[in-house]
A and B are shown apart, each in its own frame.
Chain A
Amino acid sequence: MLIDQFPPAFTFILAAIVLLAVPQGRARGALSLIVPIVAALQVWNYDTGIYNQVEFFGFTLELMRVDKLSTIFGLIFCLAAFLGNLFAWHVRDSVQQVAALLYAGAAIGAVFAGDLITLFIYWEGTAIASVFLIWARRTEGAYHTGLRYLLIQIGSGVILLAGVVLCYRETGSITFTKMTLGTLATWLIFIAFGIKCAFPLLHNWLQDSYPAATVTGTVILSAFTTKLAVYALARGFPGTELLIYIGAVMTVFPVFFAEIENDLRRVLAYSLNNQLGFMVVGVGIGTEMSLNGTASHAFAHILYKALLFMSVGAVLFRTGTSKASELGGLYRTMPLTTVFCLVGAASISAFPLFSGFVTKSLILDATASNHYTLVWIMLLFASAGVLSHSGIKIPFFTFFAHDSGMRPKEAPFHMLLAMGITAFLCIFIGVYPDPLYALLPYEVEFHPYTVGHVIGQLQLLLFALLAFGVLMRTGIHPPEIRAINLDSDWVYRRMLPKFIGSIAFAVTAFWALQTKFWMHRVDGVIARLYKSHGPEGRIAQVWPTGSMVLWIAILLGATLLVNFV
C-alpha cells in the first residue's frame, strides 16, 4: 500500500488510537485538529479511480473508490470533523474525542467504499462510534436514548447486510453502484439507507437522539450519519421516483413538529430532517442538475446546520438550557454568538448571499424544470416553514424575545473561532459559489443570482417574515392587533396553528398508542419467555439426571424411528 494511497478513513482510525497515548490537553486537541486536515489533503490528492483493493474471502473489496461524488462528501466530512473538533477544544473526555475521530473515519470510509461489504462495515462503524457521543453525557436518559439509537442504527446495518447478501446471490456482484428498486435485495438496501436518512416514519431516532447528546457531540452527530445516507442514496438510487415523494413529505411534516417544539436543539433536529428532504428530492429526480443540487446542498447544509447547533450549543454550554421558554435576550452578553446564529439562520432560510440560497435553488429549479409542480409547491411551503422555525424561531427566542434575565458570558474563544470559520464559509459560498460548483459531480450550468431567483426567494422570505412579525405582535397584544388589520391572515394564522396542533396531536397519539400496544406485546412475550427460560423456568432446570436419561431415550427412539421408517 503506497503512502499516497493510504485511505483517509484509516488516518482517522489510526489517529484515534494514537490519541489515547497523547496526554490530555493542547497536544491532544491539536492532534484532533490536524487529523481532519491531513485526511482532507489525502482526499484532495486522490485521482479518480479505484485503489486499495483487498481480497477478503474471495471477494474483492474496494476500500477507495474515488470520483467526484465521493470526493465532495469526503471533503465536507473532513471539514465538518475539523470544525466539530475545534468547537470541542475544551472537552477533556477521551471517550468523546476518540468517538468523534472514529465516527468521522467510519463515515469517510463509507463514502469511499466501492463495494457493499466495505460499505456495510463502515456503516456499522458509524453507528457504534457515534453512540458514544450520546452516552458521553452520562445521564440515565442519555443512556436509554443511546440504546434506542444504537438499536435502530444497528438494525439498519443488519437490514443492509441482508440486502447485500441477497444482492450478491442475485447478481453475483458486490459492487456498490446504481440499483433499481424491484427485488427484495434492493428494497432491503433501500430501507437500510432510508432508516439512516430518517425517512418519514423511520425518522424518530433522529429527534430522539441528537438533542440528547453532549453539547459538542450534537454538532458532530449532525454532520455525518444522515449525510452518509444521502450519499448512499445518491450513489445507489439516483432517479428513483419514489424518492421525490418521500423527500417532499420529509420536507413538509417536520415543519409542524418544529413549530410546536420547545427544546431548540430538537427544533434543529426537525429542521435537519426537513433539509434532508430537499436532498432526497434531488436524488429522486436524478438529473445531473438535481444531483449537483443534492451534493452542494449537503455540503452547505452540513456547514450551516453545524453552525446553528454550535450557537445553540454555546448557549447551552453557558446557560445550561436550550429550552425556548427559558431563554431570551441573550444578545446583550453573547453578541458574537448571536451574529453567527443569525448567519446560520439566514443560510438555512436560503437568503440570497448565503449558502443555502445557491444550493437549494439548484434543487428547486430541477424540480420545476422536470414538471413536478405539486412537489415544487411542497418544497416552497417547506422553505417558508424552515424560515419560520429555524430562521426566526431559533435566534428570536434565544437571543431576543422577552428578556430571560440571564447574563451569560460570551462563548469561549475556540467556540467563537469554530463558529466564525463556519459562518465565513456560509457567506463565502453564498457570495461566491463557483469553487463549490467546481467540486460538484457534474458540470454546472447554473447562475443562482438571476433576477427571477432572487426576487422569488425574497418574496417568499419577506412574506414569511412579515407573517411572523404580525403573529408576534398579535401574540403580545391580541385584541387590538387582531381587530385592526390582516383579517384573512388572522384567520389563516389562527386556524393553522390549531390545525397543525390537532394533526400533531393525532399523529403523536397514534404513535403513542401503537408504541404502547407493541411494548405491551413485547413485555408479555418477555414475561412468558422468562417463565419458561428464566433461571426458575423449565428449560433452565439443571439437576435432572432422570430427565436427561429420558431425553436420551427419546432421542435414540427418534433417531431409530427416522432410520427405520
Chain B
Amino acid sequence: MSAGSATATLTLAQHLPVLQVVVPLLAAPLCVLLGSRKLVWPLAFIASAITFLIATLLLMKVLDGSVISYHIGGWAPPLGIEYRIDAANAFVLFLVSGISTIVLLYAREYVAAIIPPASQLLFYACFLLCLTGLLGVAATGDAFNTFVFLEISSLSTYVLIAMGAGRDKRALTAAFDYLIMGTIGATFFVIGIGLLYMATGTLNMADLSDRISDMGDNRTVRAAFAFIVVGMGLKVAIYPLHLWLPNAYTHAPSVVTAFLAATATKVAIYVLMRFMFSVFQPGFVFETYTLEFVILPFAILAMFAASIVAVFQTNLKRMLAYSSIAQIGYMLLGISFITKTGLTAAIIHLFNHGITKGALFMAVGAYVLRTGNSFLDRLEGLGKAMPWTSAAFVIGGLSLIGVPGTAGFISKWVLITAAIEKGWWLVAVLIVASSLLAVIYIWKVIEVLYMREVPDGAHHQEVPGSMLVPIWILALSSIYFGFDTSLTMSAANTAADSLLSGF
C-alpha cells in the first residue's frame, strides 16, 4: 500500500489522539466568541464530554498493551511531532477528561453564583484551555511539545486561580506566587530539555530514549535529568517545592481547586514517570541514586510533615491542600521503588486519589457556597443541614484514609505490597503510620460536621441537585473502585509495564 492511500484511508477513529486535544482547544476561543452566558456552559460541557468519550475509546484500545502512534500533519517522527498513546497516558487522559467533565457538571451553579458575570465566559475559556494543556501534556510524545502544553495549562491555571479574587483578594497573590514559581519550574524543565537536545539532537521522546541508551550517560545528560526532575518536581509539588500549592488551592474558587487537585499534579507526576522510566532508563546509576537519596526521603517527609500540618489546620480547604501534598508523597514513594509493583501503586493511587480529592474539594465547594468560607468553625452542625454533601464528604474522607472498601485502600494496599516486595519493612510501617494521621484530620472534620450543635441563627440549605450529582458520582466511584478493581488494576499494570519497557 502506498503512503498516499494510507493517508487517505485515515478515518475519524484514527484521528482520535489529536482530536482529544483539538476539541477543547477550539472550543475555548469559541466560548468567548459566542458571547452568551447561556450557551457557554453547554458548549464547554459538550467539548469536555467529547474528550472524555475519546479518552475512553483510546483507553479501551490500548488496554491490551498496544501503542497508538499518531503523526501530526503526517510528518513522521523524529522530525514531526508525534502523539503517542499507551496505557500509561491513556489512563491519565481518562482521569483528566473524566474529572473535567464531572467538575463542569458541578461548575454551572457554582460559577453562576461565585464568578462575576463579566468573567464567566473567560472562566470557561480558561478552563478548557487548562484542560487542553493537561491533555496535551499527557498525549504528546514530543519533549518540547510537553513544555508548550505545560505552559498552556499553567498560564490558564494562573488565571483560574486569580478568579477567586471576587470573594478573596488573596487569590491574586496566590496566583502571582504560583506564576513566579511555576515559571521557574517550567524554565528548569525547558533547560533540561535544551540540555537533552544538546546531547542528542532530537526532541522526540522515543528517539531520545534510543539515543541516550546508545551513548550511555555523560555530564550533559545527568544535568538534564536533574533539571527535568526539579522543574517537573515543582509542578508535582514534591515536598519542599510544594509551597505554591496550599495558597493556590485555598484561595482559588473551589471548582478550580477540585479540578486542579484531581488532575494537574497527576499529569505532572505522569510526566515525571515518563521521563524517569521511558526517556531515561532506570538502569542509570545516577537515576537510581536520585530516586533513592532525593525522592524517597522527601516523599516520606511529605507523608508525615504535610499530614501533621493538615492536622493543625483550621481551614478545611487548606487542610485538604496539605493532605494532597502528603498523598503526592505516596505516589512518589511508589515511583522511588523502581519496581513494577511500585509504579503500579503510584499510577493507581494517582487515579484513586484524583477521584477522592475531586469529591472532597467539590463537597468543600458546596460548603463554601452556603457558608461563605471553609473555616472549620463555620461548618459546625452542617452534617444535619447538608446531609448529602456531608455524607459524600465522609465517603471521600474514608477513601482518603484508606479504609477497606474504598479506592484509597486499594492504592495503599498495592503500595504496601510494593514496599514489602522490596523488603523495606520500615517503609511499609511508615505508610500505615502516616495513614493514621489522615484519620485524625478527617475525624476532626467529621466531628465538626456531625457532633457539634448548629450555631444559633445559622440556616443553611443543601446545595442543588446539579451540584450533588457530580459530588456523588465521584464519591460513589471511590467506593466502586474500592471493590471492582479490574479496570484500575489492569490499566495501572499495563501502564507500569509500558512505562518500564521504554519505547
Interface residues of A (CB under 8 A from B): 57, 120-121, 124, 143, 154, 158, 161-162, 165, 169, 529-530, 533-535, 537, 539-545, 547-549, 551-552, 554-556, 558-560, 562-564
Identify which of A161, A540, A543 contacts B309 (C-beta below 8 A). Answer: A540
Q: In the complex, A230→B234 CA distance in Å?
A: 53
Say yes or no for B260: interface residue by CB 8 A criterion.
no
Q: Fill in one digit per residue for B226-244: 1 if any A CB lies within 8 Å of its CB, else 0.
A: 1101100110001011011
- Does the CB pair A533–B305 fall under 8 Å? yes
- Does the CB pair B229–A552 fall under 8 Å? no
- Does the CB pair A562–B243 fall under 8 Å? no
Say yes or no for B314: interface residue by CB 8 A criterion.
yes
Which 5 pairs, one residue from A and one from B, show the smallest C-beta to C-beta distance? A563-B286, A559-B226, A534-B312, A551-B240, A533-B308
Chain B: residues with Cβ within 8 Å of the partner, total of 52
Q: If A543-B247, A555-B294 touch, does A548 touch B181 (CB 8 Å cutoff)?
A: yes
Q: In the complex, A145→B451 CA distance in Å?
A: 14
- Does the CB pair B289–A530 fall under 8 Å? no
- Smallest beta-carbon distance B193→chain A, Å: 15
- Smallest beta-carbon distance A131→chain B, Å: 12
Say yes or no for B282: interface residue by CB 8 A criterion.
no
Q: In the complex, A537→B305 CA distance in Å?
A: 12
Q: If A529-B308, A554-B240 touch, does A169 touch B219 (CB 8 Å cutoff)?
A: no
Identify which of A544, A552, A559 contacts B290 (C-beta below 8 A). Answer: A559
- Does the CB pair A560–B181 fall under 8 Å? no
Q: Interface of chain B, helix or strand or loop or mixed?
A: helix
Identify which of A162, A534, A543, A558 contacts B432 (C-beta below 8 A). Answer: A162
Q: In the complex, A554→B180 CA distance in Å?
A: 17
- Does the CB pair B243–A555 fall under 8 Å? no
- Does the CB pair A57–B309 fall under 8 Å? no
Q: In the complex, A561→B489 CA distance in Å?
A: 37
Q: In the complex, A57→B416 CA distance in Å?
A: 13
- Does the CB pair A555–B230 fall under 8 Å? yes
Say yes or no for B79: interface residue by CB 8 A criterion.
no
* Chain B residues, CB < 8 A from A158: 432, 436
Q: If A534-B312, A564-B222 touch, does A548 touch B230 (CB 8 Å cutoff)?
A: no
Say yes or no for B223: interface residue by CB 8 A criterion.
yes
Say yes or no for B119: interface residue by CB 8 A criterion.
no
Identify which of B223, B290, B313, B485 contacts A562 (C-beta below 8 A). Answer: B290
Can you list 17 A-B contacts (CB < 8 A)? Answer: A57-B410, A120-B404, A154-B439, A161-B432, A530-B312, A533-B305, A542-B246, A545-B177, A548-B244, A552-B188, A555-B230, A555-B240, A559-B225, A559-B290, A559-B294, A562-B294, A563-B286
With both beta carbons as reference points, the residue of chain A lying nearest to B306 in the complex is identified as A539
- Does the CB pair B309–A539 fall under 8 Å? yes
- Does the CB pair B241–A548 fall under 8 Å? yes
* Chain B residues, CB < 8 A from A57: 410, 413, 485, 489
* Chain A residues, CB < 8 A from B309: 533-534, 537, 539-540
Q: If A535-B313, A548-B244, A552-B234 touch, does A165 touch B404 (CB 8 Å cutoff)?
A: no
Identify which of A124, A169, A535, A562 contacts B420 (C-beta below 8 A). Answer: A169
Q: In the complex, A532→B185 CA distance in Å?
A: 27
* Chain A residues, CB < 8 A from B305: 533, 539
* Chain A residues, CB < 8 A from B487: none
* Chain B residues, CB < 8 A from A552: 184-185, 188, 230, 234, 241
- Smallest beta-carbon distance B229→chain A, Å: 6
* Chain A residues, CB < 8 A from B339: none
Q: In the complex, A543→B244 CA distance in Å?
A: 8
* Chain B residues, CB < 8 A from A539: 305, 308-309
- Does the CB pair B225–A563 fall under 8 Å? yes
With both beta carbons as reference points, the residue of chain A lying nearest to B312 in the complex is identified as A534
Q: If A539-B305, A559-B230, A564-B219 touch, does A533 touch B243 (CB 8 Å cutoff)?
A: no
